[in-house]
Amino acid sequence: MKIAVMSSSLQDTASHAVELARSLGADQAEVSVSYNEGLSVTVRLGELESVERQRDRGLGVTVYTDGRKGSASTSDFSSKAVQEVVAKAASISRFTSRDKFAGLAEADLMAATPSDLDLYHPWDLDVEAAEALALRSENAARGLDARIKNSEGATVSTEGGFRMYANSHGFCNGYATTSHSISCSVVADNNDSLERDYWYTVSRFPDGLDTPEQVGERAAERTLGRLGARQLTTQVMPVLFPADLARGLFGHLIAAIRGSAQYQRASFLLNARGEQLFPEFVDIEEDPLIPRGLASAAFDTEGVGTNRRMLVERGILKGYVLSSYSARRLGEPTTANAGGVHNLVVGPTINEINDLITDAGKVFVVRELLGQGVNIVTGDYSRGAAGFWMKDGEIQYPVNEVTIAGNLRELFQGIQAIGADIDFRGTVRCGSVLVEGLTVAGQ
């Protein structure tokens, strides 16, 4: 993909669609155009299992006329198709209800000079090279221990694309991104105990990935550690969420302070800004401008320029997550979060969380969470889980078929420490989180 050519082509398409919408009488119009292509190669038990090539493109048009909104989309970028999809959006707008909150974000909030966040690093990878990498990962996993009896496969993926956004304020800009990953999943068998687990690595640039061998060996180690699992008796105890699972706790926070949850009054954190939600040592920053970040963006999906901000400071919630629409519904300015949050950075409070685990005595360490038992309206939290029972810092035995239960408000307040073992593989960047006083229900 030649990015310079692609950028120019998508920019022309987006600008033309906006002009067409205005010529049809739209008060305002916005257009999003995207193109993505990728390769995914999977091996299983030493043989090539699948090769998938992706090539997707899309154009979405939204028009606003007299407070009415109409949207339409297509994957055809021809001049005729663009004219038809714009006309369709305009036609739809004539039949929708007026909404005084609908419309573009304010013109003076558009990103005037968006930063280059270094998000595009293509990987020149053909099928044979991807297959070789996947085999290295699976072979490392299968060769680690004789108890690794089966494999669900190893996959190497690479994708890249370009997104362009334009609106009738005169804004028209976009950026290219890439994402690469290696994953592996294997099955262990010992004395009729079957367990599976996995591991993966993901990065904007190929050199940022773990080696295939590291991924395979980590997948095997995690799988072997689950053999011989048993249940616990029901009790209240500290629970450690490793970094890769702790991200979800802060994802629940975002769901509760999102603008739509606030104006629909469907949140356990309704009107919670200014409240002490966490202990004083907890700081959470949103930083959209991290170079090469997986959730970095110089502007949101409405063209609003992004900036760093403290979302939680000394445990106090400082603001919400708002698009221009939800902001108007709440009588507030947008926080440049149309499309979601960008790089939520949870500050660590302790270097070695293992020291705290030792001091805590008995701890349940979560390895896997199951089910969707989180109610954002009430804050009730109940998830199936598997993991490890630890005592005085030593693993006693693996555990399965238990349930972790509590309330998110109490869970947030019960955070004892956040580790420095930060997981960078998603929108939320955080370390392991130790929480006191959760009910672990088993036998």
Q: pLDDT by residue (tens digit) across 302-344?
A: 999 999 999 999 999 999 999 999 999 999 999 999 999 999 9
Q: List CB contacts of 429: < 8 A, sequence separation 6 or more.
A: 343, 344, 345, 346, 422, 423
Tell me: pLDDT of 354 over 90.
no
CA distance 34 to 331: 32
Ranges of each domain in the chain: 3-224, 235-248+348-441
Mean pLDDT check: name the lowest of 109-118, 137-146, 346-355, 380-389.
346-355
- What pLDDT, on the 0 to 100 scale, is given for residue 193? 82
- Half-sphere CA count of 226, side-chain side, radius 13 A: 25
The Cα–Cα gap between 367 and 245 comes to 8
pTM of the model: 0.93
For residue 180 the two structure tokens come to 């690469």
Q: Is the pLDDT of residue 155 over 80?
A: yes
Q: Residue 1: its pLDDT value, please?
A: 52
Q: What is the DSSP letter of 127?
A: H
Task: List 28's β-bridge partners, or say none.
Answer: 64
Q: How many residues does the chain have?
A: 443
DSSP string, 293-347: -TT--SB-TTSBBP--EEEEETTEE---B--HHHHHHHTS---S-TT----EEEP
Which residue type sits at 434?
L
Structurally, what CATH architecture does the domain formed by 3-224 represent?
Answer: 2-Layer Sandwich (3.30)
pLDDT (0 to 100) of residue 105: 98
The predicted pLDDT at position 107 comes to 97
The pLDDT of residue 348 is 94
| Residue-level pLDDT at 51 | 98
Record the tokens describing residue 395, joined without a space: 């693993």
**Please, which residues have CB within 8 angstroms of residue 377's CB and are 6 or more apart in sequence?**
266, 267, 268
Q: What percent of the chain has pLDDT over 70?
A: 99
For the beta carbon of residue 4, count every other beta carbon within 10 angstroms.
8
Q: What secondary structure letter does DSSP report for 119?
A: -
Going through 45-127 in order, the beta strands assigned E by DSSP cover: 47-65, 68-74
The pLDDT assigned to 179 comes to 98
437 vs 149, more confident: 149
Give every CB contact of residue 287 below 8 A, 6+ residues apart in sequence: 293, 308, 342, 343, 345
Residue 194 near residue 284 (C-beta atoms within 8 A): no
Q: How confident is the model at residue 355 (pLDDT cuts 50, 70, 90)?
A: confident
Cα Rg for the chain, rounded, in angstroms?
A: 24
User: What tokens does 68 get?
Assistant: 């009415």
Q: How confident is the model at residue 350 (pLDDT cuts 50, 70, 90)?
A: confident
Per-residue pLDDT reduced to its tens digit, 373-415: 899 999 999 999 999 999 888 889 999 999 999 999 999 999 9
Give the mean model confidence (pLDDT) for residues 90-117. 96
**In the chain, what percentage of residues exceed pLDDT 90?**
91
pLDDT (average), residues 57-65? 97
